[in-house]
Amino acid sequence: MSTPESRRFAQPSAAEQAAVDAAIETRHSMRAFLPRAVPRETLEELLRVASRAPSGTNTQPWQVHVLTGAAKQRLSDRILAAYLDPEQNAAHKEEYAYYPQQWVSPYIDRRRKVGWDLYGLLDIAKTDKARMQQQHGRNYQFFDAPVGLIFTIDRLMQQGSWLDYGMFLQSVMVAARARGLHTCPQAAFTQFHRLIAEELRLAPEQMVVCGMALGYADPGAVENSLLTERAPVAEFARFIET
């Protein structure tokens, strides 16, 4: 019988290569999910697989808080209430800068395009601030996914561990796709890290990295038809041979 150990040095078959490629290429950020539960054993298995992500000297800096049912609803309700209240919203700030302080091309162009492409699908006009706020607020409901993940890291870990964390997050999303699930990684949760820490009783040394919605995507939701563009390889890669 084939085992992970016996497969370590084996040449992948064409079918195995295609399966890996498909899991990566079909990973898209979904913003509408079906009310279909994900078995706990499935969640445990995909997290086990994702834990094979590399990390410097095997530090494994990730901590995952898996929320379902009433626990997920309580967190969502609390954050959404703070988000919709202007005074409370203004009192909550991110602990770390996810985006640059100064935007330049091509990054600002890509950011604007994905935003307007999404709003266009949802028929939200550029002047409709109320609907924009409502749509952004869906982040805090995990887009109605049955599973909400909150990721934390020990505050003493440095930039290298955050690089490791990104590889772990990608592994979670790819492992989810291999099981017919979809995800949406969400930096929006970082603004409300204090509420998250209180609700989840996080230790003081734990810092919120991001959230993630996980479940079975709603194929009939128009927002899930959004397919973001990627730059061609020639635009971001240099091949140096001599």
Q: How confident is the model at residue 1 (pLDDT cuts 50, 70, 90)?
A: low
In CATH terms, is domain 28-91+139-227 a member of 3.40.109.10? Answer: yes
Q: How confident is the model at residue 9 (pLDDT cuts 50, 70, 90)?
A: confident
- pLDDT tens digit sequence for 49-86: 999 999 999 999 999 999 999 999 999 999 999 999 99
Cα–Cα dist 171/161, whole Å: 15
Q: Strand order in 147-154's β-sheet?
A: 63-67, 147-154, 206-215, 182-186
How distant is the alpha carbon of residue 93 from its chain centre? 20
Query: Does residue 233 register a pLDDT over 90?
Result: yes
- pLDDT tens digit sequence for 122-174: 999 999 999 999 999 999 999 999 999 999 999 999 999 999 999 999 999 99
Q: How confident is the model at residue 26 (pLDDT cuts 50, 70, 90)?
A: very high
Please list the residues that pair with 153 across neighbouring strands: 207
**What pLDDT is recorded for position 18?**
97
Residue type, 88: Q
Cα–Cα dist 96/82, whole Å: 19
Length of the chain in terms of residues written: 242
Q: How confident is the model at residue 94 (pLDDT cuts 50, 70, 90)?
A: very high
- pLDDT tens digit sequence for 186-226: 999 999 999 999 999 999 999 999 999 999 999 999 999 99
Q: How confident is the model at residue 5 (pLDDT cuts 50, 70, 90)?
A: confident
Q: Across all residues in the chain, what is the average pLDDT? A: 96
Cα–Cα dist 119/135, whole Å: 9
So where are the chain's domains?
28-91+139-227
Residues 6+ apart with CB under 8 A from 37: 68, 146
Please confirm whether the linkage preceding 106 is cis (ω < 30° from 0): yes
Query: Are the beta carbons of 213 and 184 closer than 8 angstroms?
Result: yes
Cα torsion 119, 131, 102, 213: sign: negative
- pLDDT tens digit sequence for 53-62: 999 999 999 9
Cα–Cα dist 125/96, whole Å: 31
Torsion of CA 50, 54, 55, 61, to 10 degrees: 0
